[in-house]
């Protein structure tokens, strides 16, 4: 990574740029590099880092997986283990995915803007981090997941016909 590339990536990343640049120097040799935030927050981390294609791809993957698991009446332990495996995968490859995304965005912006001052302004604008985006993507997932759960719920259950438990009867 040249000094020029490093500086452009630093501007694009914004907050925690030093962390990511040091991790990306490791990633250039090996694609595996642990990212704790990606492990714990997955979808929200993609949104926070403005990695929209990854966020929406992961959201669609998760919703399809949810449909399959619901249809198959999958055991909750299996669901939990599946989610853990996905989180580990994102934690291991999150830095690499972000590096590839940042490089491609920087190249895309460079191809459109030749003026150095405007280039740096645009890198900072399109890069960086956004709590707003993370929250928005999280809410979108929550709504979509709820719609799926509600839509797949057994319609034969009628809660009004269920007998309540009388704690005073013997």
110 and 119 Cβ atoms separated by less than 8 Å: yes
138 and 47 Cβ atoms separated by less than 8 Å: yes
CA 28 to chain centre: 22
Question: Residue 164's pLDDT is what?
Answer: 58
pLDDT digits (tens, 9 = 90+) for 22-79: 999 888 778 899 999 999 999 999 999 999 999 999 999 999 999 999 999 999 999 9
Question: Residue 160's pLDDT is what?
Answer: 52
Give the list of residues 6+ apart from residue 13 with CB closer than 8 angstroms, or none: 20, 21, 102, 127, 128
Q: What is the pTM of this model?
A: 0.85
Q: Name the strand (E) or helix (H) holding 16.
A: none
């Amino acid at each position: 990574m040249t000094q020029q590339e490093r500086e452009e990536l630093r501007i694009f990343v914004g907050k925690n740029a030093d962390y990511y640049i040091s991790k990306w120097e490791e990633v250039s040799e090996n694609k595996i590099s642990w990212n704790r935030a990606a492990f714990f927050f997955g979808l929200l981390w993609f949104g926070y880092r403005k990695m929209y294609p990854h966020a929406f791809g992961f959201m669609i993957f998760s919703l399809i997986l949810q449909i399959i698991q619901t249809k198959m009446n999958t055991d909750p332990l299996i669901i939990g283990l599946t989610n853990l495996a996905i989180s580990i995968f994102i934690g291991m490859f999150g830095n690499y995915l972000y590096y590839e995304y940042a490089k491609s965005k920087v190249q895309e912006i460079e191809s459109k803007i030749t003026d150095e001052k405007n280039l740096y302004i645009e890198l900072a604008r399109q890069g960086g981090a956004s709590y707003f985006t993370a929250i928005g993507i999280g809410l979108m997932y929550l709504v979509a997941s709820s719609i799926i759960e509600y839509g797949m719920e057994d319609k034969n259950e009628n809660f009004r016909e269920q007998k309540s438990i009388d704690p005073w009867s013997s």
